[in-house]
Amino acid sequence: MPGTTEYPVQLIQPDGARVYNPEYQALVADIGPDELWQLYEDLVVSRRIDTEATALARQGQLGLWAPMQGQEAAQVGSAHALRADDYVFCSYRETAVAYCRGVDPGAVTAMWRGVAHSSWDPAQVNMTNPAIVVGAQGLHATGYAYAAHLDGAEIATVAYFGDGATSQGDIAEALTFASTWSAPVVFFCQNNHWAISEPVHLQSATPIAQRAVGHGIPACRVDGNDVLAVLAVTRRAAVRARGGGGPSFIEAITYRMGPHTTADDPTRYRTAAETEEWARRDPILRMRRLLEREDLFDEAAQRRVDEHADEVAHRVRSATLTMPDPDPLELFEHVYATPHPFVEAQRRDYAEYLAADPAGDSAAPALRAEGVRS
């Protein structure tokens, strides 16, 4: 991918006009009107899921939520480049990737509501559940990719992470291992400009993609709000991985329009002028403008997309509000793949505690007296 670390790849301008780029246009030459509308629908629906989950968190129905508004094109475009047998290791913000991979929208909030360790079965969609430890999934993805290569599986493994994660040792170690052992992993960095309150220039004095180049990994920067450009560069990286070409690094330059999580207040560290500037580059508006320019847009189709988005959002809300509370002893399930004596001992102790005081009332005052949250 020569030269693309300096100039981000772009195929659609913010006003919807096409960009002349024969090299990358060829990679999405099969994307006709129907495919454009599918991409547009997935952008709209994934944002609606995110909006609904954010509202649920604000209403106290979720303990926390990590909004992704503004990053839909980076996620939808890259997800559409993958095959069903490819494997995805996500961070905690890839809601649109999960939707495109076939995760039931009614399941996406389970972990955030605190009723389960995870929200979906990774084996059903070849995608892990949200990784809260920043950057840890980079090493997991690299190991999985290398093991799949040894097994002869011709698949791509993708690791999603943010700009802040590139300052973590886990990502540096993953880049080193992947380069040295030619692991077929695609490192997909969503550079949304803010690692909570830390601006991206504090993460790296040079483009983040240059870090991968320093490890001997081909890297590419792409306009992360341009769904077609993201689709093109991810297709190229995925083909390279499946064909045994080794790792690739994609830096999708996008912007987190909302807070880092619903526990964050972005107005404390960034200006309204900055967010307004990025709002003009909105990925959904950009795609709609492309459809309008090419005489593909019609109001009836828009209504169908909006109705579908509302139906999906209703499923998210109704599923969240009716999720049953788990049995307390389920806390000890799925901690290890095989039985573990320490976990089993803790399970027995807690079962005895519940049997002695099912409501936990006698222990609560003592815990509060000691300053411990009950």
**Active site (catalytic) residues:** 256, 260, 269
Q: Among 7, 27, 66, which Cα is nearest to 223's? A: 7
Q: Name the β-bridge partners of 158.
A: 88, 186
Q: Which helix H or strand E contains 220, and what residues bound it?
A: strand 219-223
- Residue 26 CA to residue 20 CA, distance in Å, equals 11
Checking DSSP bridges between strand 194-195 and strand 198-199, what pairing results, if any?
antiparallel
Q: Which helix H or strand E contains 160, and what residues bound it?
A: strand 157-162
Count, residues in the chain? 374
The residue type found at 226 is D
- Residue 307 CA to residue 300 CA, distance in Å, equals 11
For the chain, where are the alpha helices, taking DSSP H only? 22-25, 33-58, 72-80, 95-101, 110-113, 122-125, 136-150, 169-181, 209-214, 227-242, 272-279, 283-293, 299-321, 341-356, 363-369
The CA-CA-CA angle for residues 93, 281, 164, to 5°, reads: 35
Q: Among 57, 129, 144, which Cα is nearest to 93's? A: 129
Environment class of 193 (CB within 10 Å of its CB; exposed 0-12, middle 13-18, buried 19+): buried
